[in-house]
Amino acid sequence: MAKSNPYVDFDTEDFIRDESFQRWVLSPEPQSQRFWDQYLQLHPGQHASVSEAAAFIRRLKFSSHGPSLVETEASLKRQLDRIAAQEREQVIREGRLRRGGTRRVLAWSAAAVLLGALCWVGFSVFSVHGSMLSSVTAVDGIKTIVLPDSSEVVLNAHAELSWPQDFGERGGREVWLQGEAYFHVKHSAGSPATAPFIVHAQDLDIAVLGTQFNVTNGPGFTNVLLDKGRIRVRLDDSSLNSRELVPGELLRYTAANHRIAVRKVMAELYTSWKDSKMTLDQVPMSKLAEMIQDVYGDSVVFAGRGLADYKVSGTLQVTNEEALLRTLAFVLDIRISRAGDVLVFTAK
């Protein structure tokens, strides 16, 4: 390799332009790693050029204009509906071509409709459970549901909750959640220990005895916040141990690196969405920033000394991030600007 190595005379810009060099920097693999390690060992003089070139490529990281997970799912659903409709049309057209096909057309289109419906169910998370009875979606706005066992669930906008036909029977209380919801689980009439309440979220399950807690299925993360009582969280990723939470603790699972983090937070900041507003009394800005990062995935940067320690009091609109930021800017008389997923808070 060393003798005929074409990279011997490369300067920084040559490296940047080189396809396999780019690939190594952007998506390193064991093989390319070995190659470049070895190259640097043989040509220590090239160290500066190589690291400069790599740093340049790494700096070219662009913000994404990509849609959110929810938007992607909505688009996918529209797409599948569209395809199903066209397939029905196609079947009908083909049926008409055959002689005297009226009855057949009907039969075919019924089959097509059924097929479409089956496909759609197949895609949803709930496909495992054939006997899913009820499913409630909060299309826009917040919705409160009372389950057969009189447990209450407050669904945030776009969230969806499903439960099987035999909910509460044979000792099982299981629900499936997409999006965000706040749970107030009632002790079951019988012995609580025999009837655990289980919430299946995106990446984890939560086993509950009577308790109040909040679940957020976000893009790439799942948050569980315990308000009152006691819960045990089991991760879908079997390499991670289950965790028991005490009130006021937030468990955050990040899908990208399979990490869980548990820490104490101000619970009311995370659950106030269900009342559409939060009433704050002397809450430090840094706590609010932490919540914005946890819930909306945007990190907050303070430009100006002392802003982070600023205490916030008042009532904030929290129906969505935009409304929250707007009220925050107004209440604090600051300017909030966005650069990708970084929010900059500037004192006016």
Sites of contact with another protein (CB under 8 A):
12-13, 16-17, 19, 22-23, 26-27, 55-57, 59-67, 72, 75-76, 78-80, 82-83, 86, 119, 122-123, 299, 301, 303-305, 307, 339-342, 346-348
Instruction: Report the distance separating Cα 269 and Cα 130, nearest Å.
Output: 37
The nearer residue to another protein, 34 or 82, going by C-beta atoms, is: 82
Cβ neighbours, 10 Å, residue 178: 23
Q: Minimal distance in Å, beta carbon 128 to another protein?
A: 14
Q: Minimal distance in Å, beta carbon 7 to another protein?
A: 17
The 10 Å CB-count burial string (b at 16+, else e) for 108-133 is beeebeeebeeeeeeebebeebeebe
Considering only CA atoms, which of 122, 120, 176 is closest in space to residue 147? 176
Q: Minimal distance in Å, beta carbon 264 to another protein?
A: 23
The nearer residue to another protein, 115 or 136, going by C-beta atoms, is: 115
Q: Minimal distance in Å, beta carbon 246 to another protein?
A: 30
Q: Minimal distance in Å, beta carbon 291 to another protein?
A: 18
The nearer residue to another protein, 37 or 341, going by C-beta atoms, is: 341
CA angle 175, 217, 250 (to 5 degrees): 100
Considering only CA atoms, which of 206, 184, 214, 175 is closest in space to residue 294? 214
The nearer residue to another protein, 275 or 309, going by C-beta atoms, is: 309
**Are 293 and 276 within 8 A, CB to CB?**
no
The nearer residue to another protein, 13 or 309, going by C-beta atoms, is: 13
Q: Minimal distance in Å, beta carbon 57 to another protein?
A: 7
Considering only CA atoms, which of 139, 157, 137, 161 is closest in space to residue 148? 161
The nearer residue to another protein, 103 or 348, going by C-beta atoms, is: 348
CA angle 36, 39, 42 (to 5 degrees): 155
